[in-house]
Structure 1
Amino acid sequence: MSNKVKKFSFISVILSVICVVFVAEAAAPAAAIGNQQFFWWIFLIITFLLPYGMVVAELGTTYDSDGGLYDWIRDAFGDRWGSRVAWYYWINFPLWIASLATLFPDILGMVLGVEFEIAPVLLIELAFVWIVVFMSFSKVSDSAWILNGGAVLKVLIAVSVGGLGIWYAVNNGFASDMSPHTFIPDLTNTNALTYLSIILFNFMGFEVICTFAGAMKNPSRDIPKAIVLGGLAIGAIYLFCSFGIGAAIPADQIDPDFGMIYAVMTMVGEASPIFMLICIVFLVTLFANMASWSFGVNYVADYAAKHGNMPKV
């Protein structure tokens, strides 16, 4: 019998899905597609998100362990491929955390109204990385507050950006052309099509939840329901947040890295307390996002190591 203390309620599982899968900073690149994004969001929710979620839910409820996709691949193709997948899955994490670390000093500088020199920038980036590392040391069953809190803050940001977009459009008009033909997908627009991979990426992460199965009260019941409900909520959140960004900044001028932050700045002003608050909350969600993913990738690597398919370090 497992010695783990199972603390995840069904609500916590849904919030974990949102915390892991919804990436606030990824809404801007999708908004750069323009009004065509709404078609592609809905199309990919139906053709990718729901089928992918159901596949993951089926596999996740079959394997009540921390191995996640490592177990799935190892049982299907053997230890060699299980080992490779565990490594590939883990190695994306340090690369991703480094990319988010570079965002942190710039956004913090916007809040404080300063431009950091290279030494403070490096210190801030290293501090971000190591805080996430130390957060990931705890068991996921004892860290529900990180996942729950991160999900709530992410939803608040998305709702705020979408709401501000409506307010801005009512008072100033839409920054983008809202003619009906702009919502029809243009398959000849290669620039827009290149961003479709961003939408697909925005839906990835359900497999992370399956590594939490051992910390759930009833994974066979909770995982499928949470993936469906959480997935639909995530799709709606992305749509609303992307709408808010597009309302303030023309699609061809959206910065893929700071698009959401610049959109809020445009709508309320750089000196506005609302802008500063959203920036601070956004920075907090970066910690939650990385910590939630660290639980998944580290669990998979640790599980593979215990089964002799990763170095025991």
Structure 2
Amino acid sequence: MTQAPQPADPATPDLSEGWGEQRSRLRKDLRRRDVLFFLICTLVGLDTIGSVAAQGPQGLSWMAVLALVFFLPYGLLVAELGSAFPVQGGPYVWTRLAFGRFTAGLNQVLYWISNPVWVGGSLCIIALTTWEQFFTPLPGLWKYVAGLAFIWIGAFAVVQSVRVGKWVPIAGAVARIVLLGFFLISVVVYAIEHGVHALPTGQFAPTYVGFVGLVPVLIFNYVGFELPSSAAEEMKNPRRDIPLSILRSGLASLVLYGGPILGILFVLPAKEIGGLGGFIDACKAVFTVYGGHVAADGTITLTGAGSVLGGIAAAGLIIGLLTSGITWAMGAHRAQAVACADGAGPAWFGRISERYGTPVRVNILSAVLASILLVVALNLTQGNGEKYFAAGLGLAISTTFISYVITFPSLVVLRRKYPRTPRPYQVPGGMAGVWTVTILATGLVAFTVVVLVWPGFGVGWFGTGGSAAASLPPSFAGQRLQYTLSQVLPLALFLVIGLVFYACGAPARRRSAERAGAGSGERAPDTQAEDLVPGL
């Protein structure tokens, strides 16, 4: 019996005629060094250092555990997908090849929209808080002005060509290395002069209550490996550079993230560490060694060189926050533009600028959404920074992680569907290894979504200790319904936006189907693997 020939595996999926028209406007200006700094800027998040430190020493324990059971499997998973399918749009393309355009389109909207939620939410509020702590108060209208300036400066940077824009993550990575390195040096000086808080061994013991509180922020700081793949066709050699950059940036991020958390714990009592101001307060405390003092009530005053260095560090922190948002936007926006050009969204947003080689229209739309969120959130929370921070960060994480629940299983499906695709890097262990990393990565992000929507999930069950209510963010104490609605209602709205986007992509899908029908007289592009491969 003669076996029917199998379609060749896709190396560079063409997706649709709409994206094919835009591909020629991309510019290959990203080298391995650029990808490495891009990932360091992505992975080392300055907005959640305080949230992890607020859980005490067990935060470091859980950080080590999750590095093994999530960070490593996730890195292996993305290294294979990114090197096997080095196509512009990265996560969207992987999901599209695995599960089809409709699923990938809805999934991509969640992945993309989490960026304006994050920028207009937690990043913006930490930047504003840092400014007020180190420079000057922002009363009334000035808080809105400063927040909008933060958002639109970032939008301007994201719009720039990759040759110019790549210097933003480089600057962000350097700012992180300098800021966090100087902070650790200052901790040592502070310890010599004032001593440090003892960290009893028992406090490092991991607990389930601590896990539920920490898993969202820890895993959120461990994600971002897939972002450079969204700009794969702007890299010189993505098949080689993506796996190597993932390895190097992963090791660097563990050091850059873990060191400051330990420093905060040495300087501040755990009960005084807040999720929003933990890192800021620790910086102010250690910088008193250069000039200043800590009053009996805990009020910190910087003077002389301490005040100058504190201001420099504050500027570095704000730059770090801004570049985090920019770097994520550079990846997420590109993937959304590919989705729109492919017929999973309005074709108008899938246009790549001839002048800049970037998806300017998606960039501007994201900045508008972030601005709306900023204004709405500041009004709904009556200026309560901690409440704004908790709701914004939780929503950004859950939105991103829901998309991961769909994207990560693409590894298993694509190994089966396209076994002959060249894979410069493969997850070790054959299909058993593939299933292992997929189950670990997908399972943990799915669990994270549950505990974000319902903090304290599982706490106090089966006679165990602890109270689920205590797992609510302190700013939402006793307000579980209000917190849950702050997560669920926006998520429902985002899904509706995804459906609207997909409906708006109908004309592009019809054109693509007509083109395929004219060529073969058979099935539409979504049902033929061959149609995803140019030149077959």
Give the TM-score of the pair, scaled to structure 1: 0.93
Aligned to 1:294: 329
What corresponds to 1:182 in structure 2? 203
Q: Distance in 2 between matches of 1:180 and 1:267?
A: 24
Does residue 152 in structure 1 map to residue 174 in structure 2?
yes
Aligned partners of 1:29 and 1:255 also within 8 Å: yes
Deviation at 1:33, TM superposition (A): 2.0
CA distance in 1, matches of 2:27, 2:88: 14
Specify the alignment match of 2:255 in structure 1.
236
**Residue in structure 1 matched with residue 225 of structure 2 by the alignment:** 206
| 1:1-313 correspondence runs (5 A) | 4-99=26-121, 100-112=123-135, 114-175=136-197, 177-187=198-208, 190-191=209-210, 193-269=212-288, 270-271=302-303, 272=306, 273-312=308-347, 313=349
Please state how far the C-alpha of 1:171 moved relative to its aligned partner.
2.3
CA contact (8 A) 1:7 1:142 kept: no
CA distance in 2: counterparts of 1:201 and 1:140, whole angstroms: 25
Give the fraction of aligned pairs with identical amino acids, expressed as a percent: 27
Is the Cα–Cα contact under 8 Å of residues 58 and 210 in structure 2 kept in the other structure?
no
Distance, in Å, in 2 between the alignment partners of 1:159 and 1:111 is 20
* Count of residue correspondences: 309
Q: Is the 8 A contact 2:172 2:320 kept in 1?
A: yes
Residue identity in the other structure for 1:311? P
The alpha carbon displacement at 1:125 in A equals 0.7
Indicate the SS of the match to 1:25. Answer: coil
- Residues 150-201 of structure 1, C-alpha deviation per residue, up to 9 Å, x if partnerless? 11101212222222222222322223x32222222234xx145412221111
CA distance in 2, matches of 1:200, 1:93: 16
Distance 1:139 1:167 in 2: 43
Looking at structure 1, the residues matched to 235 and 124 of structure 2 have their Cα atoms a distance apart, in angstroms, of 31
Q: Quote the offset at 1:8 in angstroms.
A: 2.1
**Structure with bigger RCO (C-alpha 8 Å, 6+ apart):** 1
Q: How far apart, in 1, do the equivalents of 2:256 and 2:31 lie?
A: 22
Letter in 2 for 1:205: G
SS of residue matched to 1:211: helix
Separation (CA, whole Å) in 2 of partners of 1:275 and 1:239 = 21
Alpha-carbon distance between aligned partners in 2 of 1:139 and 1:84, rounded to the nearest angstrom: 27
* Offset, 1:285: 1.6
CA displacement at 1:287 relative to structure 2? 1.9
> What's the offset of the Cα at 1:207?
1.1
Note closer, same or farther for the CA distance 1:309–1:192 as it changes in structure 2 (3 Å cut): closer
1:273-308: per-residue Cα shift (whole Å, max 9, x none)? Answer: 221110011111222111111111110110001001
Residue 228 of structure 1 and its aligned partner are, at CA, apart by 1.0
SS in 2 for 1:307: helix
Structure-2 separation of matches of 1:183 and 1:167: 24
Question: Equivalent residue of 2:159, what SS?
Answer: coil
Q: Deviations over 1:213-249 (max 9, x none)?
A: 2122111111111101100110111111111111111
Alpha-carbon distance in 2 for matches of 1:83, 1:6: 26
Displaced runs of 4 or more, over 4 A = none
Conserved 8 A contact 1:165-1:243: no
**In 2, Cα distance between equivalents of 1:212 and 1:158:** 28
Q: Distance in 2 between matches of 1:75 and 1:94?
A: 27
> Which protein is bigger by CA-based radius of gyration?
2
Q: Is the 8 A contact 1:164 1:244 kept in 2?
A: no
Distance apart, 1:254 and its partner CA: 0.8
SS at match of 2:345: coil
Q: CA deviation at 1:141?
A: 4.2
What is the CA–CA distance in structure 1 between the aligned matches of 2:334 and 2:25, rounded to whole Å? 16
Q: CA deviation at 1:139?
A: 3.0
Asked whether the 8 Å contact 2:62–2:211 carries over to 1, the reply is: no
Contact 2:42 2:224 in 1 (8 A): yes
Task: Give the letter for the 1:221 counterpart.
Answer: R
CA distance in 1, matches of 2:266, 2:24: 51
RMSD: 1.7
Q: Which amino acid aligns with 2:161?
A: K
TM-score, normalising length from structure 2?
0.55
Helix, strand or coil at the partner of 1:292: helix
Aligned AA (1:180): T
